[in-house]
Amino acid sequence: MEKNAKIYIAGHHGMVGSAILRKLKKEGFTNFVSRTSTELDLRNQQAVADFFAAEKPDYVFLAAAKVGGIVANNTYRAEFLYDNLQIQNNIIHNAYLSGVKKLMFLGSSCIYPKMAPQPLKEDYLLTGPLEETNEPYAVAKIAGIKMCDAYRSQYGCNYISVMPTNLYGYNDNYHPQNSHVLPALIRRFHEAKEQGAEAVTIWGTGSPKREFLFADDLAEACYYLMQNYNEPGLVNVGTGEDISIKDLALLVKKITGFEGEINFDTSKPDGTPRKLMDVTKLTEAGWRFHTTLEEGITLAYQDFLSKGVLVAER
């Protein structure tokens, strides 16, 4: 990417988009075009068409999405499917119409089948049924990958798809019902400490294993791939390492300073037993993560404390 190129980061206020923006500014890019969700509803086809026609960005990072944890995904199934399809359809199509040089579509590890072999290779896409609780979101993201490939095949568009593992970091969502597992644990352990609670109860058995990547590491990977990768299909972005929910809870307990017990509500669902990304393709392309889980959670907790819960729930 040329240093004076006009760059549009869809979702620049979110955790991923803001991390990409920080990384690009650090690398010397200054020509950004941005709109908040109140200024531009990405679900509105005409509004997005008008935006691209007027601004004509050179490069697009598609980080905007309706996201949430297991409860939000299962509760708002229609919204997760409709909103995400609308957002990505509008941006990808209008990027083509306005002559964008390159677009990066960001998806999620939930695109893979529930019982796919571990670690998850890019080739496992569409080889089995999805996890039921987040199927609508996964279907939308799979459609985005296929749309990028279709526009590459038919129109010659240089559109690439990146599938991050579970993310956390600055500007995360700490909503008590709609957040992902790691920010949810940070909030619950913090509140339990503040309230002097004797125990924190966690959904499920604690046995499922998850992989976590610090969002600023993802931003570095996105920048690297935008500069160096131009292939169809998708690229996993992760650490290649995972941790059980129980051990994750123990780590968050340590970092937040909570001194009580941890209980597991086994009547609640565990979700997918394991989700570990195979990052061979990424490492062979020349990139590897560098922020350890303990370092990253410590930074995320400091960010949580600096903003306060009410701000974190925006």
Which residues are known catalytic residues? 137
Query: CA–CA separation, 171 vs 184, rounded Å?
Result: 13
Encoded tokens for 238: 């992760």
180 is in an annotated binding site: yes
121 is in an annotated binding site: no
Query: CA–CA separation, 35 vs 9, rounded Å?
Result: 9
**Given the DSSP bridges, would you call strands 234-237 and 159-164 parallel, antiparallel or unpaired?**
parallel
Sequence-ordered list of residues with C-beta below 8 angstroms from that of 187, at least 6 positions apart, any chain: 174, 176, 179, 304, 309, 312
141 is in an annotated binding site: yes
210 is in an annotated binding site: yes
Q: Which amino acid is at 168?
A: Y
43 is in an annotated binding site: no
3-class secondary-structure state, position 9: strand
13 is in an annotated binding site: yes
Q: Helix and strand tally (H, E) in the chain?
A: 10, 13
314 is in an annotated binding site: no
104 is in an annotated binding site: no
Encoded tokens for 23: 């990384």
107 is in an annotated binding site: yes
User: Cis ω on the peptide bond leading into residue 176 (within 30° of 0)?
Assistant: no
Query: CA–CA separation, 13 vs 187, rounded Å?
Result: 20
**Helices marked H in 156-261 — which ranges?**
181-195, 215-228, 245-256
203 is in an annotated binding site: yes
* Residue 66 and residue 79 in contact, taking contact as beta carbons nearer than 8 Å: yes
15 is in an annotated binding site: yes
108 is in an annotated binding site: yes
Encoded tokens for 42: 């990405």
Encoded tokens for 135: 């199927």
Q: Which amino acid is at 21?
A: L
290 is in an annotated binding site: no
Binding-site residues for NADP(+), in ranges, read 11-17, 106-109, 141, 164-167, 180
Extract the annotated binding site: 11-17, 106-109, 141, 164-167, 180, 188, 203, 210, 270
Output the known binding site for substrate: 188, 203, 210, 270
